[in-house]
Structure 1
Amino acid sequence: MTDEQRDAALFLVSQQYLLESLGRGDDSLALSLLRKQISKLQVGREKVHKLAFSLFSPGELGLNEVHEDGDVFQKLRRNLINELEKLLPPPITVPDRRLEHLVEKVVCSQIDSCIYHNSLDPVSIYGDHRCGRDQIPTETVQILSDHKNEVWFVQFSNNGNYLASSSSDCTAIIWKVLEDCKLVLQHTLSSHQNPVSFVAWSPDDTMLLTCGSSEVLRLWDVETGTCKHTFGDSGFLVSSCAWFPSSKQLVCGSSDPKKGICMWDCEGNETKAWRGVRMPKVSDIAVTPNGENLISIFSDKDIRILNVVTNVERVISEEHPITSLSVSGDSKYLIVNLNSQKIHMWDIEGSWEKPLTYKGHKQHNSDPIEVLSGHLMTVNSVSWNPKRHQMLASASDDQTIRIWGPNRSEKMKLV
């Protein structure tokens, strides 16, 4: 690009900026642009003088239409693009290897939009990418049998490098996920005196909470496997627990109304509590990822949404008992599973008066995507690895944990 072309292009862009500044009523900025930038360009004094005149007579350039036509700047910008296209040669407006960049962008967007994609598989720009059944975890690749009784809960860590499990055998186990996607036992957490029904990873994955309906709440160091703190006394039985996003505060709920809901720091100091004779039992609890709302399930059918910043409270009543609770990653929605075989999604901020309802497969007369067979008894919990999307874990009354991966035989058929 020559100096003459450069100055001409800069004049067109600066002119547009000046005109929009005038349209917004920012005369001082327009004058500054004219004095400090536009006047230095080698585009001829006549153009500069005409633009200077527009400072005093904006009607000459159609700026008096701004209040009547809100799209006047859009029209001016389209004209600017047309003028730049005439002024600048194609090698400048279309950079080298532009086609290669566009093709690469399309291919990468297809891969990025599919969490199950195996990067070794080819992707074509001539069709939308869709992973087949071979990408979904449907085959048992490992069986973990170190628990001595029913396994009640499993949960992968946020970074996907660990799996935690809890059991009726009064222990919890931390498993390490190796590079080859095999799991090995890292720590057995064995200080509980009663069955452990729930675990919760801290957001930074350095700590783990364990609790049970007849057990106290314990905090564990993930690296060493040692118990860092036990919350409350032996009579403080915790039914559920959750972390705040800072990994410095946690909250737990008790099925005993006298104990209610308590917030603690990691040193065991109680920072806030909701308790009393009118307090119903808490069956489940969650904190939104942004840390603003505390969501509790009371008496099996009531959902309480409490904004911990403003203390504004909202209660939603369901007709049927709630069996589980989950919060979306953007902190906007919550989903509850009901024993009536329905799933309700609620807007946390209260924009919806009624929930969105999702019925079971039987009501829609459709088949599930896949049925995973292998466990010999009831399956109590499943967890998808958040970083290794082709890995799924399931816990069962048959005392085992199964790790699921893509079906290798299907993969071989495609090859």
Structure 2
Amino acid sequence: MDISQALGLLRKQISALKISKEKVHKLAYELLTLKGLDLGCIDCDAVHELRKGLISKLEKVLPPPITLPERRLEHLVEMAVCAQIDGCTYHSSSEMISLYGDHHCNRDQFPTETIQILTNHQNEVWFVQFSNNGDYLASSSRDCTAIIWKVQDDNRVTPRHLLRSHKSPVSFVTWSPDDTMLLTCGNMEVLKLWDVETGTCKRTFGNDDFIVSSCAWFPDSKRLVCGSSDPKKGIYMWDCEGNEIKAWKGMRMPKVLDLAVTPDGENLISIFSDKEITILNLTTSAERVISEGHSITSLSVSGDSKFLIVNLNSQEIHMWDIAGEWTKPLKYEGHRQQRYVIRSCFGGVNSMFIASGSEDSKVYIWNRRNSKPIEILSGHMTTVNCVSWNPKRFNMLASASDDYTIRIWGPSVQSR
């Protein structure tokens, strides 16, 4: 039986007999696989085209209950919505998308221009991070201080507390999930806990023998974890009162360069010995190890706990899925990084964007679906060490630089 005869049979006899959908599907499968034909002399592309044509003809002759799967309308609507988002390079709107009009987030609402320069630090600014509610900004500097800033309703940023307690440069800060506390790490120094409302130091963790390299919060804002660059010290979990809850240490424990806890609290992610990412499931204790070919300088996790990005000194940023479904990372190129510790961040709706500093004094922004940057922001005079995207005001970005300044980026003047 040739294909035309088979189609005639389906059109005139099979559908009229009202036989089961399963048998019709089986018949269609036999046709699509061209079972019994010698394909050795047939070009694969030609076979592909034959199959496409056959499917098109089958859809015309078979009744809808057979050709249309269940929840087809829901699937089509989802496809249409996703297509609008995927086609929007600057998608940063949390509003509902309508099928009755084309969706498009334009560049006018994207952070592309400097709207404010903060000059309160007296030396290189090494780290910057917005609070989870978007109302505050924290920064740390080589001048041995950290600053808590208030984000006003008009997006202007003003200083609120100057945090003086560290004896060495402050290399890292991180907000508690409820934004009431702030952790600061001194460069090769101890860890300190601050009250955001009063700006006072509530507690110091560790001692001169425990050198903290990085720290992170658990979602309950009651527990924290920190890692040491000293291999003998490892990783410690504490509560906010300074009580040790758990420790990962031992003779075989490598030095910890950076770490993070996913926002859902399920995974502890650590950078070990330059080139190794370890993902530890805190419930099952299952462990996944990812090896990179170049030295890793920093780590960041997406707000939905699905992805992580690492900065490499090979001038690339790699994105991995935390669940382990990808065997290779997505790669982002364009920025410059060889000697410095550069920190990147996720931003926008559903962590759709990746932003990073660079040794060429610029800020680079990628739509995470594309390896080429969509924006390159100029303004700083030297290396940009860290960037942070406001998690609630998607058109607001902050960057910290060795030029002693913090720049706040927003939409262009014309669009405001």
Fold shared per TM-score above 0.5: yes
* Cα separation, partners in 2 of 1:277 and 1:177, compared to 1, 3 Å: same
Cα separation, 1, equivalents of 2:236 and 2:318: 27
* Cα separation, partners in 2 of 1:148 and 1:355, compared to 1, 3 Å: same
Pairing 1:5-404 to 2, within 5 Å after superposition: 116=92, 127-352=101-326, 354-361=327-334, 368-404=373-409
Paired residues of 1:209 and 1:220 also in contact (CA < 8 A): yes
What is the identity, as a one-letter code, of the residue corresponding to 1:407?
Answer: S
Paired residues of 1:361 and 1:368 also in contact (CA < 8 A): yes
Larger CA deviation: 186-195 vs 342-351: 342-351
Higher strand share: 2
Give the superposition deviation at 1:236.
Answer: 1.4
Larger CA deviation: 199-208 vs 275-284: 275-284
Cα separation, 2, equivalents of 1:268 and 1:180: 38
Give the superposition deviation at 1:366.
Answer: 9.0
* Cα separation, partners in 2 of 1:118 and 1:314, compared to 1, 3 Å: closer
Q: For residues 81-130 of structure 1, what are the alpha-carbon distances to aligned partners after superposition, in whole Å with 9 as ceiling and x for unaligned?
A: xxxxxxxxxxxxxxxxxxxxxxxxx9xx99xx9764599xxx99875232
2:5 paired residue number? none
Paired residues of 1:115 and 1:389 also in contact (CA < 8 A): no
Cα separation, 1, equivalents of 2:180 and 2:394: 22
What is the identity, as a one-letter code, of the residue corresponding to 2:412?
Answer: N
**SS of 1:134's equivalent?**
helix
Segments of 5+ residues of structure 2 without an aligned counterpart are 1-19, 26-63, 69-80, 336-369
**SS of 2:410's equivalent?**
strand
* Cα separation, partners in 2 of 1:128 and 1:283, compared to 1, 3 Å: same
What is the identity, as a one-letter code, of the residue corresponding to 1:392?
Answer: L
Paired residues of 1:211 and 1:240 also in contact (CA < 8 A): yes
Aligned match for 1:405, one of 394, 407, 410: 410
Segments of 5+ residues of structure 1 without an aligned counterpart are 1-64, 79-105
* Cα separation, partners in 2 of 1:366 and 1:305, compared to 1, 3 Å: closer
Q: For residues 147-205 of structure 1, what are the alpha-carbon distances to aligned partners after superposition, in whole Å with 9 as ceiling and x for unaligned?
A: 11100010000100000000000010000011111111110111000000100111111
Higher helix share: 1
What is the identity, as a one-letter code, of the residue corresponding to 1:290?
Answer: D
* Cα separation, partners in 2 of 1:273 and 1:339, compared to 1, 3 Å: same
* Cα separation, partners in 2 of 1:292 and 1:393, compared to 1, 3 Å: same
Equivalent pairs, count: 311
C-alpha RMSD over aligned residues? 3.4
Which TM-score applies when normalising by structure 1?
0.67
Report sequence identity in percent.
70
Looking at CA atoms only, which structure, 1 or 2, has the larger radius of gyration? 1
2:363 paired residue number? none
Cα separation, 1, equivalents of 2:272 and 2:98: 51
Give the superposition deviation at 1:406.
Answer: 0.9
**SS of 1:176's equivalent?**
strand
